[in-house]
A and B are shown apart, each in its own frame.
Chain A
């Protein structure tokens, strides 16, 4: 049972820490891409 407990503990640490780090990265980089989507749609609208 102890082996399983260590496995679940490591799984939790890995999941929570990677989720936190990746969330921070994608929030900042996602903002740049959001601006690009709007630039593209605005361009399309102007063409029409």
Chain B
């Protein structure tokens, strides 16, 4: 075991503090609106804390540091699209301002308003599938990380993960967004300390000159020049579109922004998040580069690249501080789990089960209490699924591409339909006015492009040649290409589908919309 008694004390004290804060806020939560968006009372600084805490977890450190470890400095490119898109959204209010002005809780609600119940259901279904298979790899990767850092034998890691997830489930279910806000705050203090600490100790330990020399030795110019590897123009175009859709329409982000007390605060959070999210990508990628340098300079290079960063942290962290660093990493993860659980369970309970129940009950919504029970039951079901998926799924290629493309399953259709529903829903657009036919095409076609990435090779071989020829020969190496094509095809689907819908079934009066 790598921990001293002091380290165990710090980690245990942290878990007790988090659990206590979750149960403490229970008495303040009155109804579904309190539960989901904390009565829209979150200010600018707290909004920023909340957004960052939920978007930084051990999984974030792992997939970003893996990219740095396997590619060198060029992987730092990952941070740049975040920066550009956050500034763009904050300054222009594109998509996010109309959404905040409408005061909707989840994006599928917008789709129901604009395109009808069917699109709300389809969008929520794709969101749930894409979101949960994305979320589903978190526990497995994190189990590996925790195992390496603490020295807990492999046979107990599953148990550790279940304990951690159970704690998250309890405090999230107890307090909803309110408990997420308070725990996020505690966690942000720890995670920001930990992130900067590891980066600085790493540089002091290895020296900048050695770090540059290690990247040069392992990758040559490919480690420095982004335009000759996997992080060139294809990557930039895809990531700009992808980040635009994540930041403007992904439920785990929009839930944070919709909790801001007004539209102005929400936009301000976006603008300032640009700098923080640049660092959120850059610092963990740099850890990967530090690990590469560490194992170039020292013996003991791990056979599994995912072990490189935890092993480096273990080796460079001074004794007695490991518990604090570990608590900071754990802190980051717990808020991410809580936020994702809350987002995906609300999509399933409100937009899938809620829509079906509403139809069955002749247009009447479920009572508040039943909605709460369904929401909590869904959280438990999601939790069980992700633990199972984590141990079932085997990766090919970078984890980064798996995570981005699983999000892309619903994000291409969601972005295109949100733009259509907000900006192209007026009569003046004539035959190109956004209609539900276009939204169906956008969601289905957008998802079909990236679904190819997740099919096993044997399954891909079952398709006829003319379909196989439409896709890149090696989808694992062509993640960026599949990514940006999903947006182009979804946009084409929206235009053609809306055109056909308007042509075959014109709107006779505005009430039909």
Does B28 lie within 8 Å of A41, measured CB to CB?
yes
Of B42, B76, B182, B225, which one neighbours A12 at CB under 8 angstroms? B76
Q: Which residues of A from 28 to 44 have beta carbons under 8 Å from B?
A: 29-34, 36-38, 40-42, 44
Does B278 lie within 8 Å of A9, measured CB to CB?
no
B49 within 8 A of A: yes
Chain B positions within 8 Å of A18 at CB level: 275, 279
Contact A40/B192 with A1-B224, A8-B76, A26-B48 known, Cβ cut-off 8 Å? no
Chain A positions within 8 Å of B221 at CB level: 1
Q: A32 to B29: give the CA distance in the assembly, Å.
A: 20
Q: A12 to B435: give the CA distance in the assembly, Å.
A: 46
Of A19, A33, A45, which one neighbours B196 at CB under 8 angstroms? A19
B208 within 8 A of A: yes
B242 within 8 A of A: no
Interface residues of chain B: helix, strand, loop or mixed (majority): helix
Q: A42 to B28: give the CA distance in the assembly, Å.
A: 7
Stretch at the interface among B33-41, B314-322, B387-395, B499-507: B33-41
Chain B positions within 8 Å of A32 at CB level: 45
The bracket for how many chain A residues form the interface is 20 to 34
Contact A22/B276 with A4-B225, A8-B73, A8-B224 known, Cβ cut-off 8 Å? yes
Does B275 lie within 8 Å of A36, measured CB to CB?
no
Chain A positions within 8 Å of B188 at CB level: 23, 26-27, 30
B353 → chain A closest CB, angstroms = 27
Q: A24 to B182: give the CA distance in the assembly, Å.
A: 17
Does B73 lie within 8 Å of A4, measured CB to CB?
yes
B251 within 8 A of A: no
Does B46 lie within 8 Å of A34, measured CB to CB?
yes
Q: Which residues of B from 173 to 208 have beta carbons under 8 Å from A?
A: 178, 181-182, 185, 188-189, 192, 195-196, 199-200, 208
B429 → chain A closest CB, angstroms = 42
Q: Which residues of B from 278 to 320 have beta carbons under 8 Å from A?
A: 278-280, 282-283, 286
Count of chain B residues near A, Cβ 8 A? 45
B57 → chain A closest CB, angstroms = 17
Smallest Cβ-Cβ distance to B278: which chain A residue: A15
Q: A1 to B212: give the CA distance in the assembly, Å.
A: 11
Chain B positions within 8 Å of A23 at CB level: 188, 192, 196
Q: Which residues of B from 28 to 74 have beta carbons under 8 Å from A?
A: 28-30, 34, 38-39, 41-46, 48-49, 73
Q: A5 to B220: give the CA distance in the assembly, Å.
A: 12
B259 → chain A closest CB, angstroms = 10
Does A33 lie within 8 Å of B45, measured CB to CB?
yes
Q: A9 to B289: give the CA distance in the assembly, Å.
A: 12
Chain B positions within 8 Å of A45 at CB level: 27-28, 30
Chain A positions within 8 Å of B42 at CB level: 33, 37
Of B208, B216, B226, which one neighbours A9 at CB under 8 angstroms? B208
B79 within 8 A of A: yes
Does A5 lie within 8 Å of B45, measured CB to CB?
no
Of A5, A11, A26, which one neighbours B224 at CB under 8 angstroms? A5
B272 within 8 A of A: yes
Chain A positions within 8 Å of B276 at CB level: 19, 22
Q: Which residues of B from 195 to 243 have beta carbons under 8 Å from A?
A: 195-196, 199-200, 208, 212, 216, 221, 224-226
Q: A9 to B286: give the CA distance in the assembly, Å.
A: 11
Q: What are 16 A-B contacts with C-beta separation under 8 Å? A: A5-B73, A8-B224, A9-B208, A11-B282, A15-B283, A19-B195, A19-B279, A20-B196, A22-B276, A25-B45, A30-B45, A33-B45, A33-B46, A34-B182, A41-B39, A44-B34
Task: Please give the residue numbers on chain B whose beta carbons come within 8 Å of chain A beta carbons, in ascending order.
Answer: 27-30, 34, 38-39, 41-46, 48-49, 73, 76, 79, 178, 181-182, 185, 188-189, 192, 195-196, 199-200, 208, 212, 216, 221, 224-226, 272, 275-276, 278-280, 282-283, 286
